[in-house]
């Protein structure tokens, strides 16, 4: 079913890297768009070991290709040394490479900068509502996530459990990213508890039973392997002292729950963080696919947690302040944070203030905040109307 969906990511011209967590559908996307390309799959163990022993074998294969041909190397992070040959053949034969990977960590260490200016970076994310169409079901997304791999198999618990086991075995252990695998395994469910929360490294370290320095290294690994990302705080000093620590988001609610071994129906105490986190990944995907905004932050004054703003989106001199509420009923206090931010903001244009909720009615507060049902917000985002 997923193979028939039209993904929003369009193939760029020339050579490019395609990054995305395991199960986002990178291989399927590459085969759909480059069916006639020379395809090198480094998950093929026979091929992997051949190139591991003698990277020069790739050169012999590339020499036989016509000038300007397209080459796909899937899971390039398994053999970063092949980037040297890619770089050479981009220059000598104008070959165009599509280089996919589920981790930027080994590539960065191995010298991805060799391709700087010669290969753009693209990303593939979990399925978004615009891609799913009528199949989109928010409850299913919050419960099992929308990774292409998981969605294709109906959100099966066994698939999610196997995903986390494969991640530990093939991304972490096989690549020797950590020395203490049990410690990292203990860290994962604790990090999942911080999904949608301001990071407190000391608390995370205490709960995971490792040092603070180790936790910071583990967070880097989680981000480098594309399972999570950090949203920086806004530091505009709006007459208040803002929090300086980033917020942590997992890229998919199903993975955040699987890390904690939560596979049943979503309970109310986790719904808010799951909805906010899903919206964060959705915004991040549209920033990548459609250039929806240029930069983003969250805002939280240290004096009052009630005034937090989940997302501040920036484009040119315009700002959109968004509060996400997994509630079917709007309450005036839901708009308190975005309106406090707008009142203290000193830019040329007043920020547009939004509350996105699960109710059916489109509303507006006396302070000018628009309260949008999720479907209305999705339509504005998909149509690039958030900034007016």
Instruction: Identify whether residues 185 and 296 lie together within a single domain.
Output: no
Burial of 229 (0-12, 13-18, 19+ CB in 10 A): middle
Q: How confident is the model at residue 219 (pLDDT cuts 50, 70, 90)?
A: very high
Q: How far apart are CA 152 and CA 1, in angstroms?
A: 6
Instruction: Look at residue 59 in the predicted model and tell me its pLDDT.
Output: 94
Spatial neighbors of 352 by CB under 8 A, at least 6 apart, are 318, 319, 320, 321, 370, 386, 387, 388
DSSP state for residue 170 in the 8-state scheme: I
Is residue 282 a part of any domain in this protein?
Answer: no
Q: What is the CATH number of the domain that holds 191?
A: 1.10.10
Instruction: Identify whether residues 211 and 315 lie together within a single domain.
Output: no
Instruction: Look at residue 3 in the predicted model and tell me its pLDDT.
Output: 62
Instruction: Identify whether residues 242 and 140 lie together within a single domain.
Output: yes
Q: How confident is the model at residue 4 (pLDDT cuts 50, 70, 90)?
A: confident
Residue 110 is inside which H or E element, if any?
A: helix 105-110
Q: Number of H helices and number of E strands within the chain?
A: 16, 14
Residue of 277, 261, 295, 171 lying closest to 222 (CA atoms): 171
For residue 386, pLDDT beyond 90:
yes
pTM of the model: 0.93
Q: What is the CATH number of the domain that holds 23?
A: 3.40.50.300
Instruction: Identify whether residues 364 and 263 lie together within a single domain.
Output: no
- Kindly report the length of the chain: 388
Q: What is the CATH number of the domain that holds 341?
A: 3.40.91.50
Is residue 306 a part of any domain in this protein?
Answer: yes
What rounded mean pLDDT belongs to the chain? 90
Strands 247-250 and 228-231: antiparallel
Is residue 388 a part of any domain in this protein?
Answer: no
Last residue of a domain, one of 93, 123, 153: 123
Q: How confident is the model at residue 239 (pLDDT cuts 50, 70, 90)?
A: low
Is residue 279 a part of any domain in this protein?
Answer: no
Instruction: Look at residue 238 in the predicted model and tell me its pLDDT.
Output: 60
Instruction: Identify whether residues 106 and 137 lie together within a single domain.
Output: no
Instruction: Identify whether residues 249 and 353 lie together within a single domain.
Output: no
What is the domain range of residue 44?
2-123
Instruction: Identify whether residues 180 and 225 lie together within a single domain.
Output: yes
Instruction: Identify whether residues 92 and 39 lie together within a single domain.
Output: yes
Instruction: Look at residue 328 in the predicted model and tell me its pLDDT.
Output: 96
Is residue 284 a part of any domain in this protein?
Answer: no
Is residue 101 a part of any domain in this protein?
Answer: yes
Mean pLDDT of 333-341: 96
Q: How far apart are CA 246 and CA 260, in angstroms?
A: 21
Instruction: Identify whether residues 145 and 252 lie together within a single domain.
Output: yes
Burial of 200 (0-12, 13-18, 19+ CB in 10 A): middle
The tens digit of pLDDT for each residue in 168-189 reads 887 787 666 777 888 888 999 9
Radius of gyration for the chain, computed over Cα atoms and rounded to the nearest angstrom = 22
Cα 198 to Cα 109, 191, 255, distances in angstroms: 29, 11, 19
Cα 248 to Cα 192, 231, 324, distances in angstroms: 9, 6, 16
Instruction: Look at residue 348 in the predicted model and tell me its pLDDT.
Output: 85
**Using an 8 Å Cβ cutoff, are 125 and 251 in contact?**
yes
Q: How far apart are CA 286 and CA 293, in angstroms?
A: 8
Q: How confident is the model at residue 279 (pLDDT cuts 50, 70, 90)?
A: very high
Instruction: Look at residue 134 in the predicted model and tell me its pLDDT.
Output: 94
Where does residue 342 fall: left (phi above 0), alpha (psi -120 to 50 degrees), or beta otherwise? alpha
- The count of structural domains within the chain is 3
**Using an 8 Å Cβ cutoff, are 246 and 233 in contact?**
yes
Instruction: Identify whether residues 252 and 301 lie together within a single domain.
Output: no
Q: Which residue has the higher pLDDT, 83 or 281?
A: 281
Last residue of a domain, one of 273, 300, 319: 273
Tokens representing residue 118 in the block: 């010669």
Last residue of a domain, one of 64, 91, 123: 123
The tens digit of pLDDT for each residue in 242-271 reads 668 899 999 999 999 999 999 999 999 999
Instruction: Identify whether residues 242 and 336 lie together within a single domain.
Output: no
Is residue 23 a part of any domain in this protein?
Answer: yes
Q: How far apart are CA 243 and CA 252, in angstroms?
A: 25
The tens digit of pLDDT for each residue in 87-121 reads 889 999 999 999 999 887 777 665 555 566 677 88
Instruction: Identify whether residues 115 and 140 lie together within a single domain.
Output: no
For residue 311, pLDDT beyond 60:
yes
Is residue 89 a part of any domain in this protein?
Answer: yes
């Amino acid at each position: 079913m997923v193979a028939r969906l039209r993904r929003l990511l369009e193939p760029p011209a020339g050579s490019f890297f395609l990054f995305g967590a395991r199960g986002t559908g990178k291989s399927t996307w590459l085969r759909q768009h480059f069916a006639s390309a020379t395809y090198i799959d480094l998950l093929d163990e026979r091929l992997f070991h051949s190139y591991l022993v003698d990277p020069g074998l790739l050169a012999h294969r590339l020499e036989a290709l016509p000038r300007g041909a397209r080459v796909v190397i899937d899971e390039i992070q398994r053999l970063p040394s092949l980037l040297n040959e890619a770089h050479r053949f981009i220059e000598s034969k104008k070959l165009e490479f599509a280089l996919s990977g589920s981790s930027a960590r080994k590539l960065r260490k191995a010298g991805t900068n060799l391709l700087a200016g010669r290969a753009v970076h693209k990303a593939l994310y979990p399925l978004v509502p615009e891609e799913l169409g009528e199949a989109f079901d928010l409850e299913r997304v919050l419960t099992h996530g929308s990774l292409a791999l998981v969605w294709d198999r109906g959100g099966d618990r066994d698939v999610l459990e196997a995903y986390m086991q494969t991640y530990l075995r093939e991304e972490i252990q096989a690549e020797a990213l950590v020395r203490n695998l049990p410690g990292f395994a203990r860290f994962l469910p604790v990090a999942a508890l911080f999904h949608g929360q301001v990071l407190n490294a000391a608390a995370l370290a205490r709960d995971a039973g490792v040092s603070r320095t180790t936790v910071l290294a583990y967070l880097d690994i989680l981000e480098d392997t594309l399972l999570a990302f950090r949203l920086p705080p806004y530091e505009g000093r709006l007459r208040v002292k803002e929090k300086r620590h980033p917020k942590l988001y997992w890229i998919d609610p199903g993975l955040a729950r699987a890390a904690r071994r939560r596979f049943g129906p979503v309970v109310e105490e986790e719904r808010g963080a799951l909805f906010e986190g899903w919206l964060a990944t959705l915004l991040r995907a549209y920033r990548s696919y459609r250039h929806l905004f240029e930069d983003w932050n969250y805002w939280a004054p240290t004096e009052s947690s009630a005034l937090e703003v989940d997302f501040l989106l920036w484009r040119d001199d315009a700002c959109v302040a968004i509060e996400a509420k997994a509630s079917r009923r709007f309450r005036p206090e839901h708009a308190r944070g975005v309106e406090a931010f707008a009142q203290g903001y000193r830019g040329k244009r007043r920020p547009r203030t939004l509350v996105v909720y699960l109710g059916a009615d489109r509303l507006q507060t006396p302070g000018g905040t628009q309260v949008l049902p999720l479907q209305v917000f999705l339509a504005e985002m998909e149509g690039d109307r958030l900034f007016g």
